[in-house]
Structure 1
Amino acid sequence: MNMVTPLLVSILTASACVTASLCSAATKPSPTYKTSFDCTGSQASVEKLICHDPQLAQMDLELNRLYLLALTDDHSVPRPDKVEVDQRFWIEARNQCGSDPQAKTCVIRSYAERAHQLRQGSAIARTKDPSRRTEGPLAYHCAGFSPLIAATFYTVEPGVVFLKWANTSVTLNQVPSSSGTQYTGKDYKGNYSFWQIGNDVFLQIPGSGQMTCAAEPVG
């Protein structure tokens, strides 16, 4: 007859409890955040990513706010009917990020660029709504650099800035900084940095040292 001592029973019970706890933690679903679309049904892999990521969910809500405002702007460029068509194509392109090895980076870039387009094309989308999470586009002139830099900011957590000049654009992510607000990123050309310290702005792009920049007057 096999006899199991009380001590062994206690050990086995504790082990089972620990295992069950670990399994429960491992299978615990991640939080679902509010977005412009329904997260309860079946979605594309990118939509699932957005639903469970607080930064992306905030970017999605803000982008939808800008889009709805642009639709009300008869003076938007392009016109509202074209804005609607462009939005459908943009959603299809955003969803393609699901096949990107760095899916979240791809989605952030997609939202940042689309927000820049909507704000640039519609004065109504640029209105100073207290709930807004975007700013810009603002123009900067950097010493020793001819093209103006257009910058659109996503004031989510962490923040994002979309920079565009000439035929180049780049999306940078906010990083911890002991002073000011700093954004960094990279592409196939190299590393980028955009740093705001009070009224001072600094930009570094591949092949260039740090440049001092000044905001151009708006309007």
Structure 2
Amino acid sequence: MKMVTPLLASLLAISACVTAGVCEAATKAKPKPLPTYKASFDCTSPQASAEKLICHDAQLARMDLELNRLYLLALTDEHSVPRPNKVEIDQRFWMESRNRCGAGPQAKTCVIASYAERAFQLRQGSAIARTKDPSRLTEGPLAYRCAGFNALVAATFFTVEPGVVFLKWANSSVTLNQVPSNSGTQYTGKDYKGSYSFWQIGDDVFFQIPGSGQMSCAAEPVG
């Protein structure tokens, strides 16, 4: 009786694999599971597609925790505008709106914009939410007066990675995302009107909206 050597066994296995046409599938590495991050809700059983996205995205998870921190502070502020009971109602409506972002290719953009605008609302309405907590990941709203632009521009920043800024003026608003820059901090984005840019270089601020050249802006005192 002939002994099957290890080398012969390997050759036989390769031959069988080729014959069966399964070599490539067998050698393909299994996809690694996505990391799970801490959020304000239970990431072991997220309910909505937007929640699943947040749980597996470091930037969104940090925005979620910061937004929840702002919300809890606003609930303690008897002088908040609106009042705490209305803040609670608004938060429920906001969560429903955020969850409608779904899971499509634009879902993350939608979720970021949702968090940015809600952070602006909570910080604008509550002095307690604007307290200088060392753990905070938001700043603002800060006001800027831009040359040749009639309206004040209010800016609320999310200091996550990459950063996000929500800008509001008159009846318009836009959420911009931080992009690599050789100088200062630059945020860009677009909507159906066109492209926007907000650029901070030291104390200098520049803002550009669709159909306009770059405007030089100066910070103004807030409240």
Q: Shared topology, TM-score over 0.5?
A: yes
Correspondence 1:184 to 2:188: yes
Query: Quick one: distance in 2 between partners of 1:56 and 1:135?
Result: 17
Mapped contact 1:62–1:132 kept (Cα < 8 A): yes
Mapped contact 2:116–2:166 kept (Cα < 8 A): yes
Cα offset, 1:198, TM superposition: 0.3
Hey, what does 2:200 align to over in structure 1?
196
Mapped contact 1:100–1:106 kept (Cα < 8 A): no
Query: Quick one: distance in 2 between partners of 1:68 and 1:110?
Result: 18
- Look up the SS of the partner of 1:66 in the other structure: helix
* Deviation by residue 1:2-53 (Cα, 9 ceiling, x = unmatched): x9945634756999897556342x2x21000000000101421110000000
The one-letter amino acid of 2:218's match is: A
Correspondence 1:205 to 2:209: yes
CA gap of 1:195–1:9, structure 2 versus 1, over 3 A, is: farther
Query: Quick one: distance in 1 between partners of 2:27 and 2:219?
Result: 55
Identity of matched residues, %: 78
Query: Quick one: distance in 2 between partners of 1:34 and 1:134?
Result: 18
Hey, what does 2:95 align to over in structure 1?
91
* Matching of residues 2-151 of structure 1 within 5 Å: 5=8, 8-9=11-12, 11=14, 19-20=25-26, 22-24=28-30, 26=31, 28-98=32-102, 101-151=105-155
- What is the count of residue pairs matched by the alignment? 215
Query: Quick one: distance in 1 between partners of 2:221 and 2:16?
Result: 71
The one-letter amino acid of 2:28's match is: L
- Look up the SS of the partner of 1:157 in the other structure: coil
Hey, what does 1:153 align to over in structure 2?
157
2:176 corresponds, among 168, 172, 175, to 172
Query: Quick one: distance in 2 between partners of 1:7 and 1:100?
Result: 46
* Deviation by residue 1:96-135 (Cα, 9 ceiling, x = unmatched): 0006540000000000000000000000000000000000
Query: Quick one: distance in 1 between partners of 2:11 and 2:24?
Result: 15
Query: Quick one: distance in 2 between partners of 1:117 and 1:17?
Result: 57
Query: Quick one: distance in 1 between partners of 2:88 and 2:50?
Result: 21
CA gap of 1:5–1:161, structure 2 versus 1, over 3 A, is: same
Mapped contact 1:161–1:173 kept (Cα < 8 A): yes
Query: Quick one: distance in 2 between partners of 1:12 and 1:55?
Result: 48
Structure 1 length-normalised TM: 0.92
CA gap of 1:180–1:9, structure 2 versus 1, over 3 A, is: farther
